[in-house]
Amino acid sequence: MELLEPNFNGNGSDKDTLYMLAGLSLVIFGAGLILSNPLVRRYLGQLGVGNLAQAALPDVERYLKLRAM
The dihedrals phi and psi of 8, each to the nearest 5 degrees, come to -95, 15
Q: Is residue 2 part of a domain?
A: no
Residue 39 lies in a domain: yes
Domain span at residue 20 reads 11-68
**Is-contact 59 53, C-beta < 8 A?**
no
How many structural domains compose the chain? Answer: 1
Instruction: Compute φ and ψ for 7, nearest 5 degrees.
Output: -100, 110
Residue 4 lies in a domain: no
Q: How do residues 2-39 score in pLDDT, each as one tens digit?
A: 566 655 565 668 889 999 999 999 999 999 998 899 89
Choice between 29 and 40, residue whose per-residue pLDDT is larger: 29
- Predicted confidence at residue 24, as pLDDT, reads 96
Distance CA 23, CA 16 (A): 11
Q: What average pLDDT score do residues 52-58 get?
A: 79
Determine, yes or no, domain membership for 28: yes
Give the confidence band of 54 by pLDDT, cuts at 50, 70, 90: confident
Distance CA 40, CA 67 (A): 35
